[in-house]
RNA sequence: GGUCCCGUAGCUCAGCUGGAUAGAGCACCUGCCUUCUAAGCUGGUGGUCGUUGGUUCGAAUCCAACCGGGAUCACCA
């Protein structure tokens, strides 16, 4: 059997699997088919820690389920010191792992960061957020941003070097609309003069544009012009289109206004990002990247990867089960796909050694990315296989889909303020914070509110469409971020009271059978944590990490409620339980860091 | 119409490389604060895992068809 490539997957399996291979040689004179070997946690109603299912091996053993499991169990018990004893139920071999093993692992988890893997030399770029500059960030962006940010952290924890990036969609007809409306109706209003946050102000004029546009269409239709014609001929729309042309022609006046209004938006975005606790290492602006890709497409045309039809350049993806797609219009201009091709190429040139590029973009663009990756593969770039679309589902509201046109979007700033206020309300009611200064309270409530929101959005499988329930998102009880924070604060409280040396006298020499079920359950979840992190990194899935963290702290709460720690008189047991609390504290803190969530010392 | 995704408790979600009696949270009912933080813990109610077939020792999990919901398929971005 080969050495496992992923030592973090599960350490026990790393010991058990080779022993199983040896057992197969000796007992059955057969190679073990490792793909059929599966380990699972023993169900709580049976005795044991790890369960091996022997059904797949009955042909090889030539025996029934029970005898097969029994001989394997005897072999493992005899050859592995970590196997204390075993029992067999039907085809299930339940192994009891020694307390010694669990205690040693606990000690390690308390003294080292089990959720930090060594650097592996891989450089990964993660793109997320990527907003338009004509309106403020909303709930949809929040899922995107928290996801991308969390994935970045998870990748860092598993040893990758991460470059966080966003493409700011700063050009195009949408921003021209805001600009035209501001010119017409703004009377020189600025964020400073109005006290309105920059992105909100520009968003306001985007809405003003739409209103004026609709009025003009109505007027034209009233004059007997068809709706279709009116859509095109409304003066304000023509003005916006003229402005876009001027922008492209580098008209100084338009460019100045554009820079001014985009500047307002960036100030607004940055304030929101800062409150969210996210940041980027590298920004791309579409005003600079939209010209990219044209030459790459032409090169592809020369190589015969693409073809010309009616003056336009096409790619034929029908052999791959997709469609044909235009890459350059017959007038030679680019489409959206063109610049995405060019941008990807540029990034790999700019960052030599970049091994992976992850796009955090909604699943409505699944097809787009399929085509993009395929085109880059056809162009022969070896890194084309390392492109990933982190595709996430839309966020629905109880009232249905979010639509910016219909004003049903949930504004990011408002939502954050709401959850923070809710945290404040609850926090003040519980009145545990009498000695906190106002500044400390504010910081704490900010932390708790954001935890509620981030955890709420991250605990659901990213791939799935999810429902945003406002009441549930500000809930601080149950399966929530604040619940996890609360448990962390409990562990910190214990450790503070115990003093700095409290965990020093922990003894690993305790006899087997002394570990309580509550203690063992917590340690086992800690033991699984590195494997969960590894899987989360591989699957770009913060939800699995979020759910495991919840399971851990929930189990710890059961321990806390039923087993004395500080009040335990036996110094060895007391030290052990404090060490366990320390391990839970540090792992929980790190896991929450991976989710982009901070944890408080007290709450 | 083609392609892709999703249907699990009243609601929101886990579980899905096939394994033992399908799990949480919310909601509802029930106990536990003179004791380490009750933002907690305990017990209970609640399921044809969309439907039907197939694969097999074994299917919520894999395959097919169907039903229901969504996305996407522009010389748009």
> Hey, CA dihedral for A180, A184, A187, A193, is it positive or negative?
negative
A422 touches strand B (CB under 7 A): no
Q: What is the pLDDT of residue A513?
A: 65
pLDDT tens for residues A371-420? Answer: 999 999 999 999 999 999 999 999 999 887 777 766 778 999 999 999 99
Closest CA to A110 of A554, A567, A396, A529: A529
The closest nt to A323, taking CA to C1', is B73
Q: How far is CA A381 from CA A300, A328, A349, A386, in A?
A: 12, 20, 11, 10
A480 touches strand B (CB under 7 A): yes
C-alpha A237/C-alpha A213 separation (Å) is: 7
Q: Which of residues 43-102 of A touch strand B (CB under 7 A)?
A: 43, 45-46, 48, 51, 53, 55-56, 89-92, 94
A427 touches strand B (CB under 7 A): yes
Is pLDDT of A255 > 80?
yes
C-alpha A77/C-alpha A525 separation (Å) is: 23
pLDDT tens for residues A21-79? Answer: 999 999 999 888 888 888 999 988 889 999 999 998 988 888 888 999 999 999 999 99
- The protein residue nearest nucleotide B13, judged by CA to C1', is A460
A427 and A451 in contact (C-beta within 8 Å)? no
Q: How many CB atoms lie within 10 A of CB A574?
A: 20
| Distance between the alpha carbon (CA) of A377 and the C1' atom of B11, Å | 45
A505 and A572 in contact (C-beta within 8 Å)? yes
A192 touches strand B (CB under 7 A): no
* ipTM metric: 0.96
pLDDT tens for residues A526-574? Answer: 999 999 999 999 999 999 999 999 999 999 999 999 999 999 988 889 9
A564 touches strand B (CB under 7 A): yes
The closest nt to A365, taking CA to C1', is B72
The closest nt to A566, taking CA to C1', is B36
Rounded average pLDDT over A174-178: 94
User: By three-state DSSP, how is residue A355 classified?
Assistant: strand
Q: What is the pLDDT of residue A1?
A: 28
Residues 6+ apart with CB under 8 A from A111: none
Q: What is the pTM of this model?
A: 0.95
Q: Is A456 exposed, middle or buried (0-12, 13-18, 19+ CB in 10 A)?
A: buried
Closest CA to A473 of A392, A417, A531: A417
Q: What is the pLDDT of residue A138?
A: 94
Q: Chain B bases under 7 Å from protein CB?
A: 2-7, 11-15, 17, 19-21, 24-26, 35-42, 57-58, 70-77
C-alpha A412/C-alpha A176 separation (Å) is: 23
Q: Is A348 exposed, middle or buried (0-12, 13-18, 19+ CB in 10 A)?
A: buried
Q: What is the pLDDT of residue A5?
A: 42
Is pLDDT of A189 > 70?
yes
- The 8-class DSSP code of residue A334 comes to B
A310 touches strand B (CB under 7 A): yes
C-alpha A504/C-alpha A382 separation (Å) is: 52
The closest nt to A448, taking CA to C1', is B39
Instruction: Produce one character per residue of A79-109: b if its CB has 16 or more CB atoms within 10 Å, e if not.
Output: ebebbbebbbbebbbbbbbbbbbbbebbbeb
Q: Residue A124's Cα: distance from chain center in Å?
A: 15
- The protein residue nearest nucleotide B57, judged by CA to C1', is A55
The closest nt to A601, taking CA to C1', is B37
A565 touches strand B (CB under 7 A): yes
Is pLDDT of A4 > 50?
no
Q: What is the pLDDT of residue A7?
A: 46
A359 touches strand B (CB under 7 A): no
A247 and A254 in contact (C-beta within 8 Å)? yes
The closest nt to A400, taking CA to C1', is B70
Is pLDDT of A511 > 70?
no
User: By three-state DSSP, how is residue A196 classified?
Assistant: coil
A282 touches strand B (CB under 7 A): no
Rounded average pLDDT over A504-511: 63
| Distance between the alpha carbon (CA) of A475 and the C1' atom of B39, Å | 10
A538 touches strand B (CB under 7 A): no
Q: Which of residues 241-280 of A touch strand B (CB under 7 A)?
A: none
Q: How far is CA A124 from CA A61, A72, A139, A151, A326, in A?
A: 46, 43, 26, 11, 30
A326 touches strand B (CB under 7 A): yes
The model's confidence at residue A192, banded by pLDDT at 50, 70 and 90, is very high
Length of chain A: 603
């Amino acid at each position: 059997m080969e050495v496992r490539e992923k030592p973090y997957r599960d350490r026990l399996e790393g010991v058990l699997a080779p022993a199983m291979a040896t057992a197969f040689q000796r007992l059955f004179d057969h190679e073990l088919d490792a793909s059929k070997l599966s380990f699972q946690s023993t169900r709580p109603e049976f005795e044991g820690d790890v369960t091996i299912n022997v059904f797949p091996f009955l042909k090889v053993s030539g025996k029934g389920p029970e005898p097969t499991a029994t001989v394997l169990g005897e072999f493992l018990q005899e050859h592995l010191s970590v196997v204390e004893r075993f029992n067999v139920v039907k085809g299930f071999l339940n192994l009891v792992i020694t307390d010694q093993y669990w205690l040693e692992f606990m000690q390690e988890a308390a003294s080292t960061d089990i959720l930090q893997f060594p650097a592996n030399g891989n450089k990964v770029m993660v793109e997320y957020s990527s907003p338009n500059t004509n309106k403020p960030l909303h709930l949809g962006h929040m899922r995107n941003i928290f996801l991308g940010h969390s994935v970045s952290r998870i990748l860092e924890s598993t040893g990758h070097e991460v470059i966080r990036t966003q493409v700011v969609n700063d050009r195009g007809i949408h921003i021209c609309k805001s600009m035209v409306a501001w010119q017409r109706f703004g009377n020189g209003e600025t964020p400073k003069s109005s006290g309105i946050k920059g992105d909100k102000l520009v968003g306001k004029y985007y809405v003003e544009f739409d209103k004026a546009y609709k009025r003009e269409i109505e007027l034209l239709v009233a004059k007997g012009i068809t709706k279709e014609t009116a859509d095109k001929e409304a003066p304000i729309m023509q003005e916006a289109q003229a402005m876009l042309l001027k922008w492209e022609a580098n008209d100084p006046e338009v460019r100045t206004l554009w820079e001014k209004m985009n500047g307002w938006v960036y100030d607004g975005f940055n304030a929101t990002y800062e409150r969210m606790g996210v940041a980027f290492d590298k920004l791309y602006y579409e005003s600079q990247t939209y010209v990219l890709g044209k030459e790459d497409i032409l090169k592809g045309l020369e190589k015969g990867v693409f073809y010309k039809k009616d003056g336009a350049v096409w790619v034929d993806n029908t052999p791959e089960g997709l469609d044909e797609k235009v890459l350059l219009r017959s007038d030679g201009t680019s489409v959206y796909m063109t610049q995405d091709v060019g941008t990807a190429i540029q990034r790999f040139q700019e960052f030599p050694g970049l091994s992976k590029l992850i796009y955090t973009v909604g699943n409505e663009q699944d097809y787009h990315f399929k085509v993009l990756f395929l085109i880059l593969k056809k162009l022969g770039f070896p890194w084309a296989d390392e492109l990933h679309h982190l595709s996430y589902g839309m966020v629905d509201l109880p009232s249905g889909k979010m639509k910016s046109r219909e004003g049903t979007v949930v504004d990011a700033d408002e939502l954050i303020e709401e959850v923070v206020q809710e945290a404040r309300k609850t926090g003040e009611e519980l009145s545990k914070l009498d000695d906190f200064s106002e500044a400390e309270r504010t910081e704490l409530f900010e932390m708790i509110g954001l935890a509620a929101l981030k955890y709420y959005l991250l605990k659901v499988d990213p791939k799935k469409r999810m429902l945003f329930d406002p009441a549930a998102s500000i809930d601080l009880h149950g399966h929530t971020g604040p619940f996890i924070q609360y448990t962390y604060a409990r562990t910190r409280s214990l450790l503070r009271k115990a003093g700095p040396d409290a965990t020093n006298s922990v003894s690993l020499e305790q006899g087997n059978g002394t570990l309580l079920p509550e203690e063992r359950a917590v340690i086992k979840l800690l033991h699984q944590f590195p494997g969960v992190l590894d899987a989360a990194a591989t699957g770009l899935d913060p939800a699995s990490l979020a759910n495991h963290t919840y399971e851990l702290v929930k189990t710890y709460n059961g321990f806390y409620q039923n087993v004395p720690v500080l009040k335990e008189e036996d110094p060895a047991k007391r030290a052990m339980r404090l060490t366990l609390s320390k391990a839970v504290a540090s792992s929980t803190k790190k896991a929450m860091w991976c989710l982009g969530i901070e944890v408080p010392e007290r709450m």
